[in-house]
Structure 1
Amino acid sequence: MSSDPWGRVDETGTVYVRTADGEQVVGSWQAGSPDEALAYFERKYEGLVVEIGLLEKRVKTTDLSAKDALAAIEHLREQVDAHHAVGDLDALRARLDKLVELVEARREERKAQRARQTDEARHAKEALVAEAEELAQSDQWRAAGERLRALVDTWKGLPRLDRKSDDELWHRFSHARSAFSKRRKQHFAQLDAQREEARRIKERLVAEAESLSGSTDWGPTAARYRELMAEWKAAGRAQREHEEDLWNRFRGAQDVFFAARSSVFAERDAEQAENLKLKEELAEEAEKLLPVTDLKAARAAFRSINERWEAIGHVPRDARPKVEGRMHAVERAIQEAEEAEWRRTNPEARARAEGLTGQLQAAVDKLQRQIEQARAQGNNAKADKLQKELEGRQALLDQALKGLQEFGG
């Protein structure tokens, strides 16, 4: 008979293993010595130790599922319970029990982790839905569209929830995207209609602008071009493929007109500048007629100057008042000289002036006598009243005498 701390072989070749529940038959060995029998079944035990060790490592270091781990543990437990090995089988059972506890703990931990991940995924998807519903009302078509596409990618990267919850959230999310797409489609359809209307309006404006480009009716045509420009701006933008071409034609037509006008105006400005120079010379020549000493000669000379003046064309508008004012001043001076000469040589006017002077002189003499008489009688009040009347008549007499002097009297 042969034995070791965990088993023995009896004289019949039966092999036993010692356990906490007593000896258990391992098997029968007839092929050799008892020591060889114990060594064989000890190797069986060592094989179980290795397998349990490997399973412990897989459970601790890999993502082995709880189901597969428990199945592997149960398979090893059946081998241990079959008592086909010699060794500390109770220690192996204890290791397997601990391994079961570890697997269960890992399963609960994973379950809690999955619950956390599901909760996080739910919150994340609810946040995506809320943002999508807000974006559905946006008019920032490009930015909102790009953001919604990014939200879809984010959604695809999140774990699925339970079917009911996931379907409900996806329905809201999808509905928000559809609502945005519908609004965007309507917006651009309306925009296309507006741009088509703008194209038709601008083609009409271009046609009119081109028809006016050869006009020489400078003022009204320039005013009409300003009106056309205001209508162009009010029309809005046409489609991109038409807008630039229409604008180039519209602007080109205006450029033709305004270039022609500028050329004509440049020639006119040069001509008017020369006219101004000539009129300034005539104004200077006219001013030399003053003061008038020989009315007949001055009148004839001014008439000659004025005829040459009228033959000269327009001058720049801003210079016109000054140069014309100089001529008008000379003209007025000659007219005043003519009026003075007429008054001086008109017999009827001289007679009227002499008659008026005589009447006023008689009235003044009469008032003086009445004043002297009133004072002699002591009637000072009457004298004072007559004195005021005398002052008024005397002023008229002085004026009449001055007018009579103009006649050389």
Structure 2
Amino acid sequence: MSSDPWGRVDETGTVYVRTADGEQVVGSWAAGSPEEALAYFERKYEGLVVEIGLLEKRVQTTDLSAKDAQTAIGHIREQVDAHHAVGDLAALRTRLDKLVEKVESRREERKAQRAKQSDEARKAKEDLVAEAEQLAASDQWRVAGERLRALVDTWKGLPRLDRKSDDELWHRFSHARSAFSKRRKAHFAQLDSQREDARRVKERLVAEAEALSGSTDWGATAARYRELMADWKAAGRAQREHEDDLWNRFRGAQDVFFAARSSVFAERDAEQGENLKLKESLAEEAEQILPVRDLKAARAAFRSVNERWEAIGHVPRDARGKVEGRMHAVERAIQEAEEAEWRRTNPEARARAAGLTGQLQAAVDKLRGQAEQARAQGNTSRADKLERELEGRQALLDQALKGLEEFGG
């Protein structure tokens, strides 16, 4: 007979394991010595120790589900309870019991985490719905439309809620988008109608302007052309594809009339020559305004020059384009300075730039935290992937910060 602290082999070859409830039969051994029999069943015990150790590590370091963990624990427990190994079986049961507690604790943690994620997703979707419903009343058609499309992309990236809640929120979200689309469609339909009305009005004005172009009643016809010009401005813009053509015809008709009148008034050439000299002097004075450093002062200075310009009268037709072009160049430069100032101080664009910067900063911080956590957990592949994504977001953030600086901070 052979024995050790946890088991023995009797003279019949029966192997026993010692437990708190007394000896339990492990099995029988016919071939080999009793020592070999004990060694065989001790190795089985060591195998269970290794198996439990591996399972403990999986539970601790991987995302093994509670269900799979419980199944694995049950499988090992069956082997322990079957007493087919020689060793401290009670210690194995204690380790399995602690492992069950750990799995249950992990299950509750994950349940709480899922509940938290669900609450966060609900809050995020409620915020998206609230913003969409606010945007539905906006008249900033391009900006609001772009923002609504961005909200849809954000929505798609959020987890689903329970079906009832998700459907209710999506219905409100979709309704807000539809309401905005209907209002935008109605707005542009009305705008198209207005432009079509403007086209018809301008076609009538063009027809009259062309009919008057051969008139020799200089005073009355010139006065009528001024009235037609006022009517033209009051009519509003036609569709883009018609506006330039109609304007060219309208101005062309006037040019024909005024060119004929100018030929009759040839005696005024000397006076117009003097006018040209005066306007060239004013154009030179206007050019001194550039470059624009003080926008208010530049506008005032140009207004002063322009008032004197308007008071001078006609210049020879062949010189008009050049001298007026010089004035127009100064006017355009001031307008561009005004537009640049408006863009720089536009609170809406500034707010969008600041909002985008904030979103990108939050995304960068989140990715950095996830990457650090993955690295700390030894998940190198996930950490590398997150860090590559972090580099891309950081580049976008740097670009957004640079854009925000253009608004003065």
TM-score (structure 1 length as normaliser): 0.64
Partner of 1:246: 246
Residues 45, 224 of structure 1: alpha-carbon distance in 2 compared, 3 angstrom cutoff: same
State how 1:136-285 maps to structure 2 within 5 Å. Answer: 136-268=136-268, 270=270
Q: Distance in 2 between matches of 1:272 and 1:152?
A: 64
| 2:33 maps to 1:71 | no
Q: Distance in 2 between matches of 1:62 and 1:268?
A: 97
State how 1:309-324 maps to structure 2 within 5 Å. Answer: none
Name the larger-Rg structure: 1
Task: Identify which range, 76-85 or 239-248, moves more after superposition.
Answer: 239-248
C-alpha deviation, 1:15, in angstroms: 0.9
1:76-133 deviation digits (Å, cap 9, x = unpaired): 1111111111122111111111111111111111111111111111111111111011
Task: Identify which range, 202-211 or 120-129, moves more after superposition.
Answer: 202-211
Number of residues paired by the alignment?
Answer: 273
Q: Distance in 2 between matches of 1:17 and 1:125?
A: 61
State how 1:37-116 maps to structure 2 within 5 Å. Answer: 37-116=37-116
C-alpha deviation, 1:271, in angstroms: 9.4
RMSD: 1.9
Residues 85, 263 of structure 1: alpha-carbon distance in 2 compared, 3 angstrom cutoff: farther
1:144-190 deviation digits (Å, cap 9, x = unpaired): 11111111111111111111111111111111111111111111111
Residues 227, 139 of structure 1: alpha-carbon distance in 2 compared, 3 angstrom cutoff: same
Q: Distance in 1 between matches of 2:227 and 2:236?
A: 15
Residues 272, 46 of structure 1: alpha-carbon distance in 2 compared, 3 angstrom cutoff: closer
Partner of 1:8: 8
Secondary structure at the residue paired with 1:3? strand
Tell me the percent identity.
90
TM-score (structure 2 length as normaliser): 0.64
Q: Distance in 1 between matches of 2:175 and 2:234?
A: 37
Q: Distance in 1 between matches of 2:61 and 2:272?
A: 103
2:223 counterpart letter in structure 1? A
C-alpha deviation, 1:270, in angstroms: 4.1
Q: Which runs of 5+ in 2 are unaligned?
A: 274-409
Q: Which runs of 5+ in 1 are unaligned?
A: 274-409
2:150 counterpart letter in structure 1? A
1:250 counterpart letter in structure 2? F
C-alpha deviation, 1:14, in angstroms: 0.8
State how 1:326-341 maps to structure 2 within 5 Å. Answer: none
C-alpha deviation, 1:266, in angstroms: 4.2
1:185 counterpart letter in structure 2? K
2:68 counterpart letter in structure 1? D
Partner of 1:121: 121
State how 1:377-392 maps to structure 2 within 5 Å. Answer: none
C-alpha deviation, 1:216, in angstroms: 2.6
C-alpha deviation, 1:264, in angstroms: 3.5
1:221-268 deviation digits (Å, cap 9, x = unpaired): 221121111111111111121112222222222233333334433434
Partner of 2:134: 134
C-alpha deviation, 1:138, in angstroms: 0.7
C-alpha deviation, 1:27, in angstroms: 0.8
1:2 counterpart letter in structure 2? S
Q: Distance in 2 between matches of 1:217 and 1:41?
A: 127
Q: Distance in 2 between matches of 1:271 and 1:103?
A: 102
C-alpha deviation, 1:215, in angstroms: 2.4
2:235 counterpart letter in structure 1? A
2:13 counterpart letter in structure 1? G
Q: Distance in 2 between matches of 1:58 and 1:272?
A: 97
Q: Distance in 1 between matches of 2:216 and 2:30?
A: 134
C-alpha deviation, 1:201, in angstroms: 1.1
Secondary structure at the residue paired with 2:123? helix
Secondary structure at the residue paired with 1:31? coil
1:241 counterpart letter in structure 2? E
Residues 272, 5 of structure 1: alpha-carbon distance in 2 compared, 3 angstrom cutoff: closer
